[in-house]
Amino acid sequence: MTCLCQQLAGDDIELSPVCIGNHWIFKNLEPDEIKALSHDAMRKKLTKGQALFLQGDPADEMFLIKGGHIKLSKVLEDGTELMLDIRKAGDFVGENMFSEESLYPVSAFCLEDTLTCGFSRSQFEALVLQYPRVGLRIIKTLSERISSLTDRVGSLAASNIEDRLYRVLCNVAKEHGAKSPQGIVIQFPLTHEDLGFLTGAHRVSITRAMKALKDSGKILFQGRRLILPTLKMA
Amino acid sequence: MTCLCQQLAGDDIELSPVCIGNHWIFKNLEPDEIKALSHDAMRKKLTKGQALFLQGDPADEMFLIKGGHIKLSKVLEDGTELMLDIRKAGDFVGENMFSEESLYPVSAFCLEDTLTCGFSRSQFEALVLQYPRVGLRIIKTLSERISSLTDRVGSLAASNIEDRLYRVLCNVAKEHGAKSPQGIVIQFPLTHEDLGFLTGAHRVSITRAMKALKDSGKILFQGRRLILPTLKMA
DNA sequence: TGTAAATTGTAACATCTGCTACAGACACTC
DNA sequence: GAGTGTCTGTAGCAGATGTTACAATTTACA
């Protein structure tokens, strides 16, 4: 099945092989269903730094990420920014559309050039009603997101920064890492400032903690890529 | 509809009005469906301190809490305990059964005498396939859990304990609080040690932070019940 | 009621972290 | 290669937090 996304993306964006037509969520759909869905999906091409949606926007759309990484962040009452999550090609963003609140509680920014497929809430509900198995798959996806967030909460509860940082790195590696002979490699660069947002710590404290982790052998560097040698993939 | 739970619970447990037969998740089911479901549900009566399930147990059952509070906690690699969540009557626990992992990643302990209704994964899947609308409701529930966990992550990212504690208290109050003329009242006692687990801070630091919050008027006490006067219910 | 256990409050001190400032390293552009 | 901006590393200080110890208070239960 040729994919409309490919034409839209051009050569700039390295697309995930996962497409709405072949994503596991939609397996077992009838060919004409896929065609209809694929046609309806609202594609968006975004460049690095652009927002897919902003905190406070009406939440009535959910997106499948076709290529690139997207960060979810939130601005707290006191004005500080907090990065909540990083999602990659093949993941969904905007699952908040299902909940009672009608506004996105977070903002989604592209870390690279990105292509997304969007679905409206009503489209989705109709699909689930017609194909209950899709509903079960969504339930599974959301359930895994809950597990991951629960881990995240566990990471943040460590009271000293070094442990907190290490646990956050492990979580990131588990979700976005790739195996290599030396350990799990995190595939994209994270600045100390990013990690500061992820751990809720000051940038300088991250630098201190990184040095400590490096000295104790818990992390390695391969160029600018971070490696966790002791971590095992789940 | 008289409920089997009532007979089992006896007079010890104050039951939630929510029952499997009338829980909003199962609205629109046929009467005989409800009857079958209600019959199949595996009820458990537990006393304070007992475990509903333990971290590492096979995760193939999910529970509706009929009465009492249940805490979810996790033992980390380094042996420290972390309290992840508190759930109340009407909530579900064990939604991990949906995800790929076959083991519960957390333990569930009863804070008071408790009655639960359990469903197996296969029971549930059959139900969702037959009644897609139930699937949509589950999706909504899980999605709200995700929002709540996201808030939780936001709370923990505050770098000073006073703010972190206040945000955690607000989250707890939003989920388990009741309105009163003076503000939102948290309905059950939380020890400083509990709050320490919830915020990832030392017990003594909680005492210090509580005093500061009390002095600044952000929290009040009515006996042992905690009141948040400035918080508005969502 | 009386006693034991759990919870809360206080203090002192060592350590950790936030904060600011600045210098070097690196990437990118012109 | 110079210029610009971003990222990383280092230092010092003030304030926050962890840690330990012990007393005061409340709760649980015989």
| Partner residue opposite B154 with nearest CB, options A76, A95, A136 | A76
- Chain A residues within 8 A of B142 when measuring between CB atoms: 98, 139, 142-143, 146
Share above pLDDT 70 across residues of chain B, in percent, rounded to a whole number: 77
| Partner residue opposite A150 with nearest CB, options B149, B197, B202 | B149
Instruction: Please name which of A8, A97, A101 lies closest in space to residue A53, comparing C-alpha atoms.
Output: A97
pLDDT of the residue at A1: 38
Give the burial class of A167: count Cβ atoms within 10 A of its Cβ; 0-12 exposed, 13-18 middle, 19 or more buried. buried
Q: What amino acid occupies position A179?
A: K
Distance (Å, whole) CA A216 – CA A161:
15
Mean pLDDT comparison of A42-56, A58-72, A157-171, A202-216, highest-scoring range: A202-216
- The pTM assigned to this predicted structure is 0.79
Share above pLDDT 70 across residues of chain A, in percent, rounded to a whole number: 78
- Chain A residues within 8 A of B202 when measuring between CB atoms: 159
Residue A100 predicted with pLDDT over 80: no
Residue B32 predicted with pLDDT over 80: no
pLDDT in tens, B61-89: 888 887 777 888 887 666 667 777 777 77
Residue A218 predicted with pLDDT over 80: yes
Q: What is the mean pLDDT of residues A80-108?
A: 79
> Residue B163: which nucleotide is closest by CA–C1'?
D16
Q: What is the mean pLDDT of residues A77-93?
A: 74
Indicate the average pLDDT of chain A. 78
Sheet arrangement for strand A183-186: A177-180, A183-186, A225-228, A220-222
Is A210's CB less than 7 Å from nucleic acid strand D?
yes
pLDDT in tens, A126-183: 888 888 887 888 888 888 888 888 888 888 877 788 988 998 898 888 877 888 888 8
Bigger pLDDT: A200 vs A11: A200
Q: What band does B208 get if pLDDT is binned at 50, 70 and 90?
A: very high
Tokens, residue B233: 């219910």
Residue B163 predicted with pLDDT over 80: yes
Strand C nucleotides with an atom less than 7 Å from a protein beta carbon: 6-12, 16-21, 27
Pure H helices in A118-160: 121-130, 132-156
- Tell how strand A225-228 and strand A183-186 pair up: antiparallel
Bigger pLDDT: A23 vs B134: B134
Share above pLDDT 90 across residues of chain B, in percent, rounded to a whole number: 6
3-state helix, strand, coil in chain B (%, to 5): 40, 25, 35
Backbone phi, psi, residue A228, to 5°: -110, 100
Distance (Å, whole) CA B39 – CA A83:
46
Residues lining strand C, beta carbon within 7 angstroms? A 159-162, 200-202, 204-205, 208-209, 224; B 159-160, 189, 191-193, 203-204, 207-208, 210-211
Q: Are B139 and A138 in contact (CB under 8 A)?
A: yes
Residue A192 predicted with pLDDT over 50: yes
pLDDT of the residue at A36: 63
Q: What is the mean pLDDT of residues A34-41?
A: 65
Distance from CA(B213) to C1'(C21), angstroms, rounded: 33
B191, containing H or E segment: none
Least confident range of A19-28, A32-41, A83-92, B93-102: A19-28
